[in-house]
């Protein structure tokens, strides 16, 4: 797959917080979820990627072009939605549409109208008078309608009720089918990750723990309920023993091979949910 975004040896310092060093790439026709605990540096990474904050070291290329070069044509090929928009309170939805659409030659008015109708967004009401949930719906309509090749969303389902979240996830899936696209989503919502992500980037305290294929993770992480008590010895792949008969593995193949060699039988096994896997990574049990 073609690399549309390449991050090499990236470092960013903010007061006493350091992001990186990070080496990472994002490929065309994929959806990647960036996850981590609060303060992990997810939003900082996206801001640096959008050149809203300058890196201290390293380089970022978008479509093969360095983002800190004088040419900025790459910016019109990315639609970015931060967690918070500032300076919009005095404008209504129609005025914001006029402002945004002029910057994007790929603007899709029919998609914008579809999203406005779906979410029942009052375009004549000033942004500052809208609830947080409706503000976010308008933000998403203004972002998705740019129809850029790369879509970057920082906590897109924040402040949204359950039906609105489900509608958005369906819209994003449809949006990916409009051509060759790339989506990066920073999210704390397990449903966002389960339904959308092809890959998961896990961050902790400014460090990159890794980029993983979601399906590979969910196939390898398993919990086992054993028929008999286990011997008190290391078992390949096992990251936690909940008691003498329950264990969790991050490498099902290694664990099952060992158990079979010792003629240890399990009553049942269950694949872990992606949020359980991420939790193990963040608390340090998956290393």
286 vs 181, residue with greater confidence:
181
61 shares a domain with 157: yes
245 shares a domain with 205: no
227 shares a domain with 210: no
Where residue 72 falls among pLDDT bands split at 50, 70, 90?
A: confident
139 shares a domain with 26: yes
202 shares a domain with 230: no
Give the chain's mean pLDDT.
94
8 within domain boundaries: yes
104 within domain boundaries: yes
Neighbours of 105 (CB within 10 A): 9
- The fraction of the chain above a pLDDT of 70, given in percent, is 100
Task: Tell me which residue has tokens 């990574």.
Answer: 281
287 within domain boundaries: no
- In this prediction, residue 284 carries a pLDDT of 84
265 shares a domain with 196: no
Q: What is the mean pLDDT of residues 42-70?
A: 94
The CA-CA-CA angle for residues 227, 231, 235, to 5°, reads 95
SS3 (DSSP) at 42:
helix
We report the CATH number of the domain holding residue 94 as: 3.40.50.300
Residues of the domain holding 78: 3-214
Query: Quick one: CA dihedral 92, 94, 97, 102, positive or negative?
Result: negative
Q: What is the pTM of this model?
A: 0.93
- 158-187 pLDDT tens trace: 888 999 999 999 999 999 988 899 999 999
- In this prediction, residue 239 carries a pLDDT of 96
Where residue 287 falls among pLDDT bands split at 50, 70, 90?
A: low
210 shares a domain with 228: no
Where are the alpha helices (H) located in 2-150, listed in sequence order? 42-49, 93-101, 109-119, 132-144
End-to-end CA distance of the chain: 28
202 shares a domain with 250: no
129 shares a domain with 73: yes
39 shares a domain with 116: yes
Domain boundary among 214, 230, 256: 214
Tell me which H or E stretch contains 179.
none
- 196-232 pLDDT tens trace: 999 999 999 999 999 999 999 999 999 999 999 998 8
Task: Tell me which residue has tokens 């994003």.
Answer: 172
**How many structural domains are present in the chain?**
2
148 shares a domain with 253: no
176 shares a domain with 35: yes
26 within domain boundaries: yes
- In this prediction, residue 136 carries a pLDDT of 94
């Amino acid at each position: 797959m073609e690399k549309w975004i390449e991050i090499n040896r990236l470092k960013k310092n903010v007061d006493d917080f350091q992001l990186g060093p990070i080496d990472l790439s994002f490929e065309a026709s994929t959806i990647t979820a960036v996850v981590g605990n609060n303060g992990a540096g997810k939003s900082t990474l996206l801001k640096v990627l959008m050149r809203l904050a300058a890196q201290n070291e390293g380089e970022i290329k978008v479509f093969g072009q360095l983002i800190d070069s004088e040419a900025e044509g790459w910016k019109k090929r990315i639609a970015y939605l931060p967690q918070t928009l500032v300076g919009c309170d005095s404008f209504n939805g129609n005025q914001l549409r006029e402002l945004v659409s002029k910057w994007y030659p790929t603007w899709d008015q029919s998609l914008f109208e579809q999203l406005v109708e779906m979410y029942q967004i009052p375009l004549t009401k000033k942004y500052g008078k809208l609830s947080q949930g409706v503000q976010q719906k308008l933000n998403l309509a203004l972002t998705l309608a740019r129809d850029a090749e790369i879509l970057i969303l920082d906590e897109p389902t924040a402040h949204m009720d359950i039906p609105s979240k489900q509608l958005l996830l369906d819209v994003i899936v449809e949006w990916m089918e409009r051509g060759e696209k790339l989506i990066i989503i920073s999210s704390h919502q397990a449903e966002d990750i389960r339904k959308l992500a092809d890959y998961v980037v896990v961050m902790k305290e400014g460090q990159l723990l890794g980029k993983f294929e979601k399906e590979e993770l969910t196939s390898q992480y398993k919990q086992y309920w054993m028929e008999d008590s286990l011997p008190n010895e290391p078992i390949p792949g096992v990251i936690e023993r909940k008691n003498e008969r329950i264990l969790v593995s991050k490498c099902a193949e290694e664990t099952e091979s060992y158990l079979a060699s010792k003629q240890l039988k399990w009553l049942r096994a269950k694949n872990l949910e992606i949020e359980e896997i991420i939790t193990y990574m963040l608390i340090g049990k998956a290393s």
